[in-house]
A = this chain, B = another copy of it.
Amino acid sequence: MKKNIGIGLLGLGTVGSGVAEVLVTKADSLAEQAGLPLILRKVAERDVNKRRSARLGPNVLTSNPEEVLSHPEVDIVIELIGGEHPAKEYIERAITNGKHAVTANKEVIAKYGYELFSLAGKHNTDLRYEASVGSGMPLISSFQQELAANKISAIHAILNGTTNYILTRMAQEGLDFASTLKQAQELGYAEADPANDIEGRDTAYKLVILSNLAFRTKFVPQDVYCEGISNIAALDFLYAREFGYAIKLLAIAKRDDDEVEMRVHPVFIPRDSQLAKVDGVYNAIEVETDLAGKLVFYGEGAGSLRAASAVVADVLAIARNIYRGVNNVPEVKLNQRGTVKPMSDITTRYYLRLNAPDRPGVLAQISKVLGDNSISISSVIQKESDLAAQTAVIVIMTYPAEEKGVQKALKQLKQLPVVNEVSNFIRVEG
């Protein structure tokens, strides 16, 4: 009979230090809920300064991950170092050493989830990842359990706090992208190397994880069409408002017969929609289901304690099983590879912003290119842009059109002598 449950922690960064804090300060309440005390036995962190700042016993801290992975009294390994390697290999070693694993690592789960779940199944250990999407919001478990009887038809989600913070500031203050990013970095809302966030990759990983659960098929990050927010100009926010829209970086997955479209890119969404009102570092996930109808989850998708909430919930779930002596490791169904709808086949509405000479006949030529590619215009705004140069900004909102037709039209517009520049085009959703 076990007297306690040993926890090993890899990584004392933002999330790791939050988890360590919760495990220590809430030890009594967690023990009561788990049935046994949860003991943080070993914490591996390479950064000496982080180790110093942690208020953990000297025997707990180590710079060597192996001491966590092979510790005989560690039952559950929490991986919080992030990134692809060596995080994936650490999780593998934890599992092959017979330990349960908990991770917040969206990149590893999006890329190697099925491989790792299958490995965990073979070793009769559990691998949990509630914190990988939406931090403390109960998404993974809701998709796995409470929505299990549903057929999910669509997901629309704001899944990245950094980009949503930047877009919110740009919308509110009329600033351009570069200076807003710089401010966000100074305030700690964006990392020094923000590429993963602003290029949409972080969001794409999360969308893959949710889609695999929602559609019960296997997708990989390459399946997601991915476009970041660095092209959005202050001017686009002005026109968005004029047409009644907000600009958000959305993760979109839709099931259409047997194909799933999966995309991450900036969108115009109606200003009165729920997702349009999700500001700052908040995340929100809208799920459309056949039985439960439309559900929305809203919360903070990042932060030390937010993620710790989900990580410790995963630890508690495993601990309860250990305490009861039940092997409740989920069975891994080797799901079929999902069929992705090619991006060129999607149909949506579009916002186009062009720069052209301010003279008669220009709009006629632009309209002809669009018409030739089966794109109907729903409205146009033309504004004098530069009096001296006699150029105008032409903004076009289209009716639903096929992406491949729009891409062809954009090429032709760029070559059209009466078009100085195709300044931007943004898809419209909802």
Chain A interface residues toward B at CB < 8 A: 22, 26, 29-30, 32-33, 35, 130, 135-138, 141-142, 145-151, 274, 277, 289-300, 303, 305-306, 308-310, 312-313, 316-317, 321, 324, 326-328, 331, 333
Contacts and interface: CB of A to CB of B under 8 A. Distances in A.
A295 B278 CA distance: 12
Nearest to A294: B299
21 contacts: A30-B149, A33-B148, A136-B146, A136-B289, A138-B142, A141-B146, A146-B313, A147-B313, A148-B316, A149-B308, A149-B313, A274-B298, A277-B277, A291-B305, A291-B309, A291-B312, A294-B299, A295-B298, A296-B299, A298-B298, A328-B328
Interface residues of A: mostly helix, strand, loop or mixed? mixed
A14 to B, nearest CB: 14
Contacts of A306: 291-293
A130 B300 CA distance: 24
B292 A135 contact: yes
Contacts of A130: 146
Given A35-B331, A136-B147, A149-B316, 5 more contacts: A147-B309, A148-B316, A295-B297, A296-B299, A324-B328
Contacts of A138: 138, 141-142, 145-147, 295
Nearest to A333: B32
A108 to B, nearest CB: 21
A189 B21 CA distance: 48
Given A138-B147, A146-B138, A316-B148, A299 B309 contact: no
A111 to B, nearest CB: 24
Across the A-B interface, give the 5 residue pairs with the lowest CB-CB distance, nearest first: A136-B292, A138-B146, A291-B309, A149-B312, A296-B298
Contact of A326 (B35, B148, B149, B328): B328
Given A145-B317, A149-B309, A294 B300 contact: yes
A385 B400 CA distance: 53
